[in-house]
Every structure is written in C-alpha cells, then in structure tokens.
Amino acid sequence: MSPSFYSHLLSAVGLQDDTKPPPIKPIGCLESGMTLLETVLIAFWVMLPAYVPNNAAVLAGGGRPIDGGRTWGGKRVLGDGKTWRGTAVGTAVGATLAIVLNLVGGDLGASLGVSLPTFPPAVILALPFGAMLGDILASFLKRRTGRDRGAAFPGVDQLDFVIVSLFLAFVAAPGWFLETFTLGVLVVIFVITPILHVTTNIAAYYLGLKNEPW
Ligand code: CTP
Ligand code: MG
C-alpha cells in the first residue's frame, strides 16, 4: 500500500496520518522565515517615518521654543533647540512620507518579492510624532543632567526617538505592531538606527546644516 493511499484512506475515515513528520517551523530571531535582507528592508521601511522627522526639524527649526524660555532649577526646561515649528514640520514630513510609502508599497513590494507593511492611520501619526517626542524628552534629560544645548549624550541621542516612536506605534495599533515588529525586525532596528543616526548627522554637519556632528 503506497503512503499516499494510506494517508487518503485515513483522512477519508476522519483520522490523521501520524506516520508523517509534523512540518518544521523555522526558529531563531528570524522566526517568521524572512531572509536577513528582507528583514533589513522591512525594518528600514517601517522606521522611515520615524527617521526623517528629526532631519526635517533641523532644516525647519527656529522660531518660538516649546519651553517659551522657561527654566527649571536654573537650567532651561528644554532649550532653544526644541521649537514648535521644528516639531510640527518634522511630524508633518514623517506622516506625509508614511502616506507616500502606503501608496507605493504594494507595487514596490511586489517587484521586490517582499511584503512591505502598510501603516494604519494612527501609526502614520504615532511614528513621526513619537520620534519628535523622544528627541524632546532627551533634551529634557540633557538639561536636567547639566548638558547644554548641542551637547552630546551618547546612547540617548541615537535611540531616544526610536524608543518613543515604537512605544507610540504600539499604543496606536497593538495588533499591527506585534505582527510587524517581529523579534528579527526589532533587532535590526536597534542595530541600524545608531549607524544611520551617526552617519546622517556627520553628513549634516559637513553640509553646514548642523552645528555639531552628533
Ligand atoms: N529642532 C527644532 N525642534 C525640534 C527638534 C529640532 O527646531 N523639536 C531644530 C533646532 O533648530 C535644533 C536643530 O533642529 O537646534 C538640531 O536638533 P537637535 O540636535 O535635536 O537639537 P540641539 O540644538 O542639539 O539641542 P539639544 O541639546 O536640546 O538636543
Ligand atoms: Mg543636537
């Protein structure tokens, strides 16, 4: 009796063929079965709306500071580097980018053979606003720890915006977040973000857009 006949016979009487080994599930950090290249592409794609706001704020910055010049304990609450205009423009640019990615993601993903995530409406705002908020909270911490405007705060500078944008994205759409940010995607984000942050800031410094290379 051939194995397939045996399987058919069993399923015909409503039984399962337990002579067949169960399907092997891929394990490890790329648990969804994505290749490393796909994981990097998805991580970069999904974080783009959080990556551009800070750079847009550098270009748009100026005007009234958020803290209105107020001090706390002899130090500025946030400092002149956090303005309403920079925050609003940064958020708007990031949200616009998320909408553009939603529009082009289907075709681009199909041609690359990768399923690129689509941003739910609340996430379109949560990712860029979270990036701006993370940067603002970092300035608050810098002032409290005696760091003047523009001072480097290694570690915090590179990851502040990622942590808060991921947190707000989770709050905005928990189901989508858990589906999209697999462990592999998160690991890639925490590796590539500091690298991208350092290189873009050095570039902005040499282009004369920023006063410090961090
Ligand atoms: N910027 C802004 N509003 C924000 C963030 C940034 O206007 N919410 C602009 C400011 O002109 C700022 C520049 O972008 O000087 C660079 O941003 P950043 O490096 O974050 O600020 P710093 O000036 O270095 O100040 P801080 O030490 O508080 O980070
Ligand atoms: Mg700075």
> In sequence order, what are the residues at sequence separation of 6 or more whose Cβ sits closer than 8 angstroms to the Cβ of residue 54?
90, 131, 132, 135, 161
Nearest to 115 by CA among 180, 165, 169: 180
* pTM for this prediction: 0.84
CA of 54, nearest ligand number: 1
Q: What residues form DSSP beta bridges with 76?
A: 71
Ligand 1 cavity residues, CB under 6 Å:
57-58, 61-62, 79, 81-83, 86-87, 132, 135-136, 139, 142, 149-151
Predicted confidence (pLDDT) per residue in 135-155, tens digit: 999 999 999 999 999 999 999
- Give the DSSP H/E element, type plus range, for residue 61: none
Rounded Cα gap, residues 209 and 203, in angstroms: 9
Residue 135, both tokens: 């940067």
Ligand 2 midpoint to CA 190 (Å): 20
Predicted confidence (pLDDT) per residue in 35-69, tens digit: 999 999 999 999 999 999 999 999 998 899 999 99
> Are the CB atoms for 101 and 81 separated by under 8 Å?
no
Q: Please give the number of the atom of ligand 1 that sits closest to the Cα of 135.
A: 20
